Amino acid sequence: MARRGSALDFRDFVTELLATGDAVDIREPVSPTLEVGAVTRRVYDTRSPAPLFGNLTEGAPGFRILGAPAGLSGRPGQTYGRLAAHLGLPRTTGPRDLLEKLISAMHTDPVPPRVVATGPCKENIVTGDDVDLERFPVPLLHAQDGGRYFGTYGFHVVRTPDGRWTSWSVSRTMLHGRTTLVGPAMPQQHLGMIHGMWRERGERTPWAMVLGAPPAALAAAGMPLPAHVNEDGYVGALAGGPVEVVRAETNDLYVPARSEIVLEGYISPDETAPEGPMGEYHGYAFAESKRQPVFQVEAVTHRQDPILPVCVAGLPPEENHTIWGTMISAVSLDLLRSSGLPVSLAWCSYEAATCWIVVAVDIRRLARTRMTERELADAVAEVLFGSHTGWLVPKVLLVADDIDITDIDQVVWALATRNPPATGHYVYPEAPGIPMVPYLTTEEARTGRGGKAVVSCLLPEQFEGVTRGVTASFANSFPKDVRRRVLEKWTDYGFAATGHGPAGAEGHPIG
């Protein structure tokens, strides 16, 4: 079968990871009960290649799991390699180029999906009484979890009753029974919004869930594009060609043909069940379960020897940080730029577990606006906290753009040395926000308000467009000829070669 490349076909994505050494084909027997989770967590921690579990001790023979599909890589210069592969970009792509690619596709005409008659996801079709989700190696990911999670790296497909808006969105689903799943559908998220429309009519929500989807589609489904925007058209623009879709067996939704596993059915209008707890994106596992909607599965279709991708959520960096955080960064940066504010970059530091976004301010343009710090903070808060993307991230750090905000060392240094404790914190207790943020009070989580803040790390003189000091550093404190001599003689002095590229060799790049 012709290859579509890693952005538009999950199997091609896995093949390319294996070929480049960024996945390991594990032949050892591994249990989906906690062992898959433990290996995958350690892969995130050690920035190892993605584990492809090909010999699982539970589930039907041949069924596989891929862990850490967008974990970071420890290879120098390829930190974001797996993430870049989702978008069909070279493994050496850095954060700025990832963001510009995502933003440029937002300003390109959508490329609608192409309907095809069949595809790999139809290689096996199971309907009616034969449906049994427990044939799959559904993993227990953390010892604290309230159940096994089928959907940690897949997306829901739903469509509005008027047929005008199709939503693809990532949200977790827990195994509930042989033919049922349970999972959140928050009313602020598009899944919950569209489910609400069907419920209001007293009808079931026609639904499908796609696992092992084309990676560019998964990324778009984890991206807070505005309401009424079809993620499928965005994927086409992003990947440079239409995503191929096929009609579901049991309803008239369309799903990506080049997917590993597709579940079809409906979301019950009224049935709920306890879901969770699960180790979560902010890094904690809490003790409580919550009642959430039940998803009824009427058909399962899958590729031969299907691969179920899993995200083992928790401490960074996992996919809630690398994928979700990057997608939030792109949409937020686009909004801030379009608003005319003097912003040059926005980045959800993965280390901050999608609980803060750092905004780089162009201080020369800032000076021309003659804004005060409060005016700038309020303007940024208004743009972000009123938006679908800004609802997701509670804290915004403002930093001058001499700081590389994709480098956490520099962000920490700026926060410590540039944020005045008495005046640099602006809080917005009335702004709505995601209720999952760990530090919210019970009341704030219940009302969905509170916890939002803008933290300024802008120095007083930066509002005049200047920075008083230069860094005391290798890059700034020595003449060029001295630096060159030190670099040339580095190994002669008796040190090991550092392996750093030119930027690293030049020292801390803050100017």
Ligand X SMILES: Cc1cc2nc3c(=O)[nH]c(=O)nc-3n(C[C@H](O)[C@H](O)[C@H](O)COP(=O)(O)O)c2cc1C
Pick from ligand X, Mn ion, none: which does 171 bind, CB < 5 to 8 A by kind?
ligand X
Query: Is 415 near ligand X (CB under 6 A)?
Result: no
β-pairing, 64-67 with 180-182? unpaired
Pick from ligand X, Mn ion, none: which does 292 bind, CB < 5 to 8 A by kind?
none
The DSSP line for 274-339 is EE-----TTS---S--EEEEEEEEEEEEE-SS-EEEE---SSSSSHIIIIIIHHHHHHHHHHHHHT
Query: Is 195 near Mn ion (CB under 5 A)?
Result: no
Query: Is 222 near ligand X (CB under 6 A)?
Result: yes
Residue numbers 275-314 binding ligand X by CB under 6 A: 311
- Phi and psi for 449 in degrees, rounded to 5? -130, 155
Based on CB atoms, which residue is closest to ligand X, 53 or 168?
A: 168
- Rounded least distance, CB 37 to ligand X, Å: 14
User: Given the rule CB under 6 A, which of 1-9, 43-51, 315-323, 409-417 is the region that contacts ligand X?
Assistant: 315-323
- Rounded least distance, CB 285 to Mn ion, Å: 27
Question: Is 156 annotated in some ligand binding site?
Answer: no
- Ramachandran quadrant class, 89 (left: phi over 0; alpha: psi -120 to 50; beta: rest): beta
Tell me which of 190, 302, 303, 418 binds Mn ion, using CB under 5 A.
Answer: 190
Q: How many residues does the chain have?
A: 511
The DSSP line for 410-441 is HHHHHHHHH--TTTSEEE-TTSB--TT-TT--
Q: How far apart, in whole angstroms, are the C-alpha atoms of residue 406 and residue 270?
A: 44
Total residues contacting Mn ion (rule CB under 5 A)? 2
- Rounded least distance, CB 194 to ligand X, Å: 9
Query: Is 153 near ligand X (CB under 6 A)?
Result: yes
User: Given the rule CB under 5 A, which of 162-170, 255-263, 464-472, 501-509 is the region that contacts Mn ion?
Assistant: 162-170
- Count CB atoms within 10 A of the CB of residue 471: 17
Residues contacting 440, CB < 8 A, separation 6+: 450, 451
Nearest CA among 351, 353, 222, 349 for reference residue 284: 353
Decide if 28 is catalytic: no
* Active-site position among 275, 280, 318, 319: 280
Tell me which of 40, 93, 179, 189 binds ligand X, using CB under 6 A.
Answer: 189
- Phi and psi for 304 in degrees, rounded to 5? -65, 140
| Binding annotation for Mn(2+) | 190, 231
Please identify every residue annotated as catalytic: 280
> Which residues of this chain interact with ligand X, rule CB under 6 A?
153, 167, 169-172, 184, 186, 189-191, 222-224, 311, 319-320, 323-324, 392
